[in-house]
Amino acid sequence: MTTRLASTLTKALNILDLFLNQKEGLSVTQIHNFSGINKSTVVRLCATLEKSRYLKRSSRGIYFIGPQIEKLAQIYRIQFSMEEIIQPVLTKLRDETGESVSFYVIDGNERVCLFRVDSKNDIRHVIEEGTRLPLSKGVVGPVLLAFSGKKGLKYDKIRSKGYLNAEGRESFTSSVAAPVFTGSGSLAGALVVSGLSARFGEKKRVLALNLILEYCKKLSEWLPAKDIRR
């Protein structure tokens, strides 16, 4: 790919990115102002994107996302595998914290450990993938309840903080957990790092929490808006 073609493609993608937070559409002038792309180039690229149905133009000259984008979104949702997105994140978190990492989802009145990566330490917190546990117990359970709308001061505090850092369900264990949302803002599940309290002390939990919050944000950007396939 030539440098000129790559530059043109980048500009076209930058224009499409502008529509991520624009429900009312954009004019050529607005696209020019927001992107910094030369106005004549904006006109040319928008015309090309409209012809390819990535954009559609109203009678007032306002551009909106076109039907081709929805087709791509549908294909993405069909091809999407949650495991391929989440498992590498769990491995990175395990390697960066040294402790066991899990991703839980709600299923009825229980939480299910959907994906799991165990610590490499000889003595470690262990849970098998597929394990079902009460939502009301542990650290990740209350996080799932809080961000699925459970009422109560306890859950209000978790929602206010955006996470829970506490002693674990089992004796002598500690965990930090935070919610993961889909692209549309609905709850997808929660990440939790768990370890022995003697090793996974407050300082290490704070460091792990910062990492969890960072990865939760990334996952929310990567997960599709709906129709998640497990």
pLDDT digits (tens, 9 = 90+) for 45-76: 999 999 999 999 999 999 999 999 888 776 66
Assigned token pair, 15:
């224009």
State the pLDDT at residue 75.
67
Region 172-178 average pLDDT:
91
Give the pLDDT band (50/70/90) at residue 227.
Answer: very low
Region 178-197 average pLDDT:
91
State the pLDDT at residue 3.
78
Nearest 5°: CA angle at 60, between 56 and 61? 50
Give the pLDDT band (50/70/90) at residue 226.
Answer: low
User: Is the domain defined by 3-77 classed in CATH 3.40.50.261?
Assistant: no
In this predicted model, what pLDDT tens digit does every residue of 106-123 receive, in sequence order?
Answer: 988 899 998 999 999 887
In this predicted model, what pLDDT tens digit does every residue of 123-170 receive, in sequence order?
Answer: 777 788 888 888 988 899 999 999 999 999 999 999 999 999 988 767
- Phi then psi dihedrals of residue 212, to 5 deg: -60, -45
Q: What is the C-alpha separation between 114 and 59, in angstroms, rounded?
A: 49
CB-CB neighbours of 4 under 10 Å: 8
Q: Which of 230, 190, 186, 187 is nearest to 213 (CA)?
A: 190
Comparison of pLDDT for 1 and 150, the residue scoring more: 150
Give the pLDDT band (50/70/90) at residue 230.
Answer: very low
Region 98-113 average pLDDT:
92
Domain definitions of the chain by residue range: 3-77, 80-222
State the pLDDT at residue 78.
57
User: Is the domain defined by 80-222 classed in CATH 3.30.450.40?
Assistant: yes
Least confidently predicted of 28-42, 74-88, 212-226: 74-88
Q: What is the C-alpha separation between 186 and 182, in angstroms, rounded?
A: 5
> DSSP string covering 2-60, please?
-HHHHHHHHHHHHHHHGGGG-SS-B-HHHHHHHH---HHHHHHHHHHHHHTTSEEE-TT
CA torsion sign for 87, 88, 94, 97 is: negative
Region 31-48 average pLDDT:
94
What are the beta bridge partners of residue 63?
Answer: 26, 57
State the pLDDT at residue 225.
66
